[in-house]
């Protein structure tokens, strides 16, 4: 359907002499490996564009750690030597916090990061 609309727009622009802009962003896959340590994640930020598919591999470096992005329907847990993975679509614009969902110790409450999604 998109191709038909694009071809129609190109044909119309040829008749009227106006330019047609190409689509601004082709969604892509963003692969991120997050290492979870007592008290922090590395990295603490994921950047993507609207419509991208984000694939996260969570590696627990010292004890079990969880990963959940606010408003998303998943909650994964990784254990030392047993990474966990999740794939989701960046279908919002702005920032959403991610955080550890497994009570991993006294610094558990400091474990968070941000998924930042922009739109061209």
Pairing between β-strand 29-37 and β-strand 53-60 as defined by DSSP bridges:
parallel
**Rg of the chain over all Cα atoms, to the nearest angstrom:** 20
Cα dihedral across residues 13, 14, 18, 23: positive or negative: positive
Percent of the chain topping pLDDT 70: 81
Cα distances (Å, whole numbers) of residue 12 to 4, 9, 38: 12, 5, 59
CA nearest neighbour of 76 among 97, 99, 94, 96: 99
What is the structure's pLDDT at 12? Answer: 44
pLDDT, tens digit, 9 for 90 and up, residues 30-70: 999 999 999 999 999 999 999 999 999 999 999 999 999 99
For residue 22, the model assigns a pLDDT of 56
pLDDT of residue 93 exceeding 70, the answer is yes
Considering only the top CATH level, what class is 26-118? mainly beta
**Mean pLDDT, the chain, as a whole number?**
86
With vertex at residue 73, the alpha carbon angle to CA 72 and CA 77, rounded to the nearest 5 degrees, is 100
Return the domain boundaries, the chain. Answer: 26-118
Is residue 103's pLDDT more than 70? Answer: yes
């Amino acid at each position: 359907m998109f191709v038909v609309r694009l071809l129609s727009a190109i044909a119309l622009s040829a008749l009227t002499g106006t330019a047609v802009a190409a689509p601004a962003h082709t969604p892509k896959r963003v692969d991120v490996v997050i290492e979870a340590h007592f008290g922090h994640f590395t990295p603490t930020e994921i950047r993507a564009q609207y419509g991208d598919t984000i694939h996260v591999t969570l590696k627990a470096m010292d004890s079990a750690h969880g990963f959940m992005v606010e408003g998303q329907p998943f909650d994964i847990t990784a254990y030392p030597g047993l990474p966990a993975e999740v794939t989701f679509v960046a279908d919002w614009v702005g920032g959403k916090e991610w955080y550890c969902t497994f009570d991993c110790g006294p610094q558990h409450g400091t474990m968070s990061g941000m998924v930042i999604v922009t739109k061209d």
